[in-house]
Amino acid sequence: MALPRLVLGVESSCDEMAAAVVRDGTDVLASRVRSQLELHRPYGGVVPELASRDHVRSVSQVVRAALEEAGVGERDLDAVAVTMGPGLLGSLLVGLSFAKALAYRLGIPVVGVHHLAGHLAAAELAAPGLTRPYVGLVVSGGHTALYRVEDLASPKLLGETADDAVGEAFDKVAKLLGLPYPGGPALAKLAEAGREDAFALPRPRQHEPGYDFSYSGLKTAVARLVRAHEPLADATRADIAASFQAAATDVLVAKARRAVADEGLARLVVVGGVAANRRLRERVAAAAERDGFSATFPPPALCTDNAAMVAAAGARSLAAGERHDLDLTAFSRLPLDPGPA
């Protein structure tokens, strides 16, 4: 079935309210993201109750702004795609309720999208010629996982983190180094001034068979290092940032590379907020060149949470005949690969 022409995407799984209009599953006509950084900064992390209340206030404005930017009237829309999980339940319900009401009013289909299927679809938006199957490395604040992707809605899980997600580790280490929330991008910036071989940090599970990850031990090793060097000189902070970033990303590159070879595939896609990390992008590109596979990253704005990826994933599942009715609900936990039935 052909991809639906105009899909509105709505994403509100965490602390961003996002809306986008995507044409034919490939052209991003508009993508608006309203961040709540200022709201949560004083608390050093996302406060769920504040997040959902702010979403209630902003959802209609953000959707309206996306439609205006796209030059599209709501009557022109063919479908609404919305993130149904995983994420913060209160936040998810705001986007979901809005999307269902809009679809009902317009008499068009609504389709629920898994947040990680959305992240994967961002790579397909960025590289329209990309064909499945491929290995998908999903690296975000909540997830670190490798999938074999034949079908966006039901990829096969190869391995995932046993504890912290890699983005979470970036955020926690940034906090240890006294950087403001959210720490990932700030830590990456600080690392540019440091030497990545200054401190030998563990690369957890890098040489273990399988594709599972673990980031809590690395975070603890950094905490010990910070304590041993307090008060931290600026150069030491930068060296710790660079050494941590190298350890955290080396493991991702090693496992992704092995997965591509073991699965006998020629393509890797790297998605999620941490896919915006420059060192990770460089190292993956170098490994791809050496091993002879192609590596695709969405542009940074499509790596972090956005609604264009949700519209793109929704367009694909609608084309595959998937529909949801108004009973569609949100799930705080929702595996992308539910495993053997």
Q: Which residues bind Zn ion (CB under 5 A)?
A: 140, 305
Please report the DSSP string for 14-83 in residue order.
SSEEEEEEEETTTEEEEEEEEE-HHHHGGGTS--HHHHHHHHHHHHHHHHHHHHHHHT--GGG--EEEEE
By a kind-dependent CB cut-off of 5 to 8 A, residue 204 interacts, out of ligand KG4, Zn ion, none, with: none
305 binds ligand KG4 (CB under 6 A): yes
What distance in Å separates the CA atoms of residue 69 and residue 241, rounded to the nearest whole number?
A: 39
Count residues binding ligand KG4 (CB under 6 A).
19
Q: Would you say 4 or 85 has its CB closer to Zn ion?
A: 85
> What is the chain's length?
341
Binder among 136, 273, 298, 314 for ligand KG4 (CB under 6 A): 273
Binder among 274, 302, 310, 311 for ligand KG4 (CB under 6 A): 274
Question: Which tokens is 255 given?
Answer: 């496992």
> CB of residue 114 vs ligand KG4: minimum separation in angstroms?
12
Question: Which tokens is 144 given?
Answer: 């670190």
Site string for ligand KG4, 194-233 (x = CB under 6 A): ----------------------------------------
Binder among 6, 96, 179, 276 for ligand KG4 (CB under 6 A): 276
Question: Which tokens is 277 given?
Answer: 């990390």
The SS3 assignment for 5 reads coil
Strand ranges across the sheet with 144-149? 156-160, 144-149, 134-139, 267-271, 294-296
Binder among 82, 188, 315, 318 for ligand KG4 (CB under 6 A): 188
CA-wise closest residue to 266 among 294, 238, 244: 294
What is the separation of C-alpha 48 from the centre of its chain, rounded to a whole number of angstroms? 18
> CB of residue 143 vs Zn ion: minimum separation in angstroms?
7
Binder among 124, 171, 196, 239 for ligand KG4 (CB under 6 A): 171
Contacts with ligand KG4, residue ranges (CB under 6 A): 140-142, 167-168, 170-171, 182-185, 188, 272-274, 276-277, 304-305
